[in-house]
Structure 1
């Protein structure tokens, strides 16, 4: 989260859980490439005496994607897959439909894992227990059960980056088609078992041994759904259940492979590709790759209808943290926990300097208010800037956390307190904003939108 000058308050985790209305959180702190400590705080479900402990499992949502990427790369190492071959060469149950984009540049695993395949569908909502759950063909063909449109290529593969769960569902199906094994079995055999991740699973429905200590998800209003936890139809893109400590083991193993450690789960050159940005953009293969040199770090988050999580590990120092929460409001809490660990471990190039800033004055709202068409970054079509109760806010329709207040600093840079992103504005001759570029407090552009 962005800090403001003059703020120097300290709180306990319990105080911040109450402040944000987040029932529970699982945290694992990594120091020097080893887990320094891990624990759980709060409750598995709001209003119940169900304490979170270090073994409580949470849905990890998109933190599934780096594990899927590792499984692909392990099969590249075995000589079974090639990152740069048309995925249709491997797929048996379904094919990426050919069109004017794929005829010139076919979809490859490298493009899928780096969000550069030109594929649609950002992600799918999680289902309540007992509801019908879409299968892979439902997801890819966009049936009514999927709740989304079909996964298709609508821009040139290998070009600009656009986050797509569709690419990871393709990777999941491809692994199953090539090996003849279910995705959850492959994950157990190749990753979870070897790393001793005893509290992690992709099995659906959730196995009985996990049901006794699982965190219920909570929506924007803080309510848990009937049945408690949720079910994700897209295992390879968002179906993992895990603990912070288990996921930290996976993060450490990925870094060890990157460093060429003995008995690593992946050959060093492939691990280095995994953690190297693929052309322009922010993603390697599965992981986000942020920074360079001794500031280089691997990062990924997870977000669905009841859970929010964030994970970061520096490749040079081996310092980092994994945070898993059981509420949509956890997106605010995991940012604060990241900031606290970054401060304690002196993370390089992570904490922006506290800013001298204020909410955008009402007299300036006219410059920014309006509707903007998103042309880069996410599949959602529209970003809205609007005033509510005298406060200028932004929202992306279709995203879970919306209506965030907008601040402006002395240099005229816009930002939100809830993350490390800042918005740089291009103005028209009339003084109104014409284009918004969202950056991660560096020169890595995350999103671009132009006024309609």
Structure 2
């Protein structure tokens, strides 16, 4: 699986509560929050379950911050507590704040939403090609991901390494670790997420203003709306660096150097706190209502919150209309995840930031708990469901354990323990399913049922996933592994070819373009390489499963066989699931720990 930015969906936020806010601030309720409440207990319990070291949140009610609190610690050693002032990287929420800066320049007449950006770019220009003959790249397209520009996300740079300039990033030249930012479809013809587009915007702002990007954003957005802890400075100055949380990867290892550096500041480089991001959300709410406290006019905010394509506004994702209009964004940087979501007219919202990459439903569950705790009217709160468990034995459920393709390029794993079926995410328990029968299991916290149908030999090739009135088959990928042993390799030549292909996919660039044995769609998807395969030394065969006809597809190719290898690399206890086409081409890989 290639490195991608995890785009957390803006989650529905509906309310009929009137907005009575008149200023951006923190209410006295924050200062009086001393005793732990039910929300605190839930957050602490789910952090423990998911082994997330630290979390910070800010809750907005009636246009004011009513709760701002840190939980856990700045790193997994458990020495320094997270406070409401602890800094986290915001990931792609940086785009929302950066968009406000660009729209500020539009209102000042220095930029135009619909002008060819090459008219304003000086240091670097979008290279012309056949896709730009009739349509040009515009700021509106950059902000709404409709320009056709490449490079979805950025992995960042180790703190001790070389840091590229913005121009080197845009051209994909060393020491940049991502490919060149180029147009590869006609602007406006489709939607595709592009952090590269926001990096073009960053350079354009620098060229137009003559200021560094952090200085411009501090002057025009951060300071005016009192985001006093926040900065786009990359790398961080020493006084700010002391206030940060330490990043942790999905396997809960601390990121070397504590965090990565993001010269792609507009796309991913904002250091901030939930309270500061809550102030940003409140400024949007106030501006839309025609109140003081926003850096943008009411008419510009209306444009910002207007769907351009695929529920994407100008820097934020939007959903609903009128009083039910909501805006938000998700964020992921190396070792940090974040979510902001707010009602445009309700005066409600929440910002959640954690110092780990967590691929479970944890952040969404915290949002759900906030909505329930503060009685957000109209919000689809999910409540725990009481289930009566049937008694089943491990022997009855052993065949159900394994990995399945829940969605395209998204796995779910199941493990049976203590008369329960648990989904595993990042090798940690996630969702609990209670047995209703030996083959039917129901979620304890939502309307979801899993039904297995073994064949005459007890073999399982898929399960039925039912949520509400919808149901679909989910194909099996393969088993879980508990201390698996390598087996005799009947095709060592093929294994060597796969090893060469994986090495090329890890590095990307010319290697992935020229190395044989890789499917075409995979070459395009792995141009940036993947960190999952960095440090790979060799592979040893563990398991092979014929999945032909199960409907599994990766990067545009049907998967016929999934081969599991022990991955001998810098990190121990890892395995790589290699997805192969009928012709034996590698079409994807997933690195797992169990």
Q: If the TM-score is normalised by the length of the shorter chain, which range does it land in?
A: 0.7 to 0.9
Q: Which whole-Å CA distance do the structure 2 matches of 1:371 and 1:301 have between them?
A: 20
Measured after TM superposition, the shift of residue 295 of structure 1 is: 2.2
Matched, 1:299 2:299: no
Matched, 1:73 2:110: no
1:222 to 238, 245, 252: 252
Q: Which whole-Å CA distance do the structure 2 matches of 1:95 and 1:103 have between them?
A: 15
Matched, 1:113 2:170: no
> In structure 2, do the counterparts of structure 1 residues 44 and 263 end up closer, same or farther at CA, with 3 Å as the change threshold?
closer
Measured after TM superposition, the shift of residue 351 of structure 1 is: 3.8
Matched, 1:270 2:300: yes
Matched, 1:161 2:191: yes
Q: Which whole-Å CA distance do the structure 2 matches of 1:240 and 1:433 have between them?
A: 40
Gaps in structure 2 of 5+ consecutive residues: 1-8, 12-37, 388-396, 432-447, 451-464, 475-547, 560-594
Larger Rg: 2
Q: Which whole-Å CA distance do the structure 1 matches of 2:325 and 2:281 have between them?
A: 14
Contact 2:414 2:424 in 1 (8 A): no
> In structure 2, do the counterparts of structure 1 residues 309 and 109 end up closer, same or farther at CA, with 3 Å as the change threshold?
same
Tell me the residue number matched to 2:513: none
Measured after TM superposition, the shift of residue 205 of structure 1 is: 1.9
Q: Which whole-Å CA distance do the structure 2 matches of 1:233 and 1:34 have between them?
A: 33
Tell me the residue number matched to 1:6: none
Measured after TM superposition, the shift of residue 261 of structure 1 is: 1.4
TM-score by length of 1: 0.80
Matched, 1:341 2:398: no
> In structure 2, do the counterparts of structure 1 residues 90 and 402 end up closer, same or farther at CA, with 3 Å as the change threshold?
farther
Contact 1:117 1:156 in 2 (8 A): yes
Q: How does 1:217-296 map to 2 (within 5 A)?
A: 217-262=247-292, 264-278=294-308, 280-296=309-325
1:17 to 41, 47, 54: 47
* CA deviation string 1:303-340 (max 9, x = no partner): 12200000111012111100010001276432111111
Tell me the residue number matched to 1:82: 112
Contact 1:307 1:330 in 2 (8 A): no
Measured after TM superposition, the shift of residue 276 of structure 1 is: 1.1
Q: Which whole-Å CA distance do the structure 2 matches of 1:103 and 1:56 have between them?
A: 48
Tell me the residue number matched to 2:126: 96
Contact 1:277 1:283 in 2 (8 A): yes
3-state SS, counterpart of residue 289 of structure 1: strand
> In structure 2, do the counterparts of structure 1 residues 209 and 12 end up closer, same or farther at CA, with 3 Å as the change threshold?
same
TM-score by length of 2: 0.62
Tell me the residue number matched to 1:44: 74
Tell which has more relative contact order, 1 or 2 (C-alpha 8 A, sep 6+).
1
Q: Which whole-Å CA distance do the structure 2 matches of 1:313 and 1:74 have between them?
A: 21
The answer to which of 339-348 and 280-289 deviates more is 339-348
3-state SS, counterpart of residue 132 of structure 2: coil
Tell me the residue number matched to 1:419: none
Q: Which whole-Å CA distance do the structure 1 matches of 2:386 and 2:133 have between them?
A: 51
Measured after TM superposition, the shift of residue 46 of structure 1 is: 0.7
1:409 to 436, 460, 466: 466
> In structure 2, do the counterparts of structure 1 residues 227 and 16 end up closer, same or farther at CA, with 3 Å as the change threshold?
same
> In structure 2, do the counterparts of structure 1 residues 231 and 385 end up closer, same or farther at CA, with 3 Å as the change threshold?
closer
> In structure 2, do the counterparts of structure 1 residues 19 and 415 end up closer, same or farther at CA, with 3 Å as the change threshold?
farther
Q: Which whole-Å CA distance do the structure 2 matches of 1:166 and 1:403 have between them?
A: 35
Measured after TM superposition, the shift of residue 449 of structure 1 is: 7.4
Contact 1:214 1:229 in 2 (8 A): no
3-state SS, counterpart of residue 222 of structure 1: coil
> In structure 2, do the counterparts of structure 1 residues 386 and 186 end up closer, same or farther at CA, with 3 Å as the change threshold?
closer
* CA deviation string 1:8-45 (max 9, x = no partner): x9853222211111100110000011111101110001
> In structure 2, do the counterparts of structure 1 residues 362 and 259 end up closer, same or farther at CA, with 3 Å as the change threshold?
farther
Q: Which whole-Å CA distance do the structure 2 matches of 1:434 and 1:227 have between them?
A: 38
1:136 to 166, 174, 178: 166
* CA deviation string 1:417-436 (max 9, x = no partner): xxxxxxxxxxxxx9965899
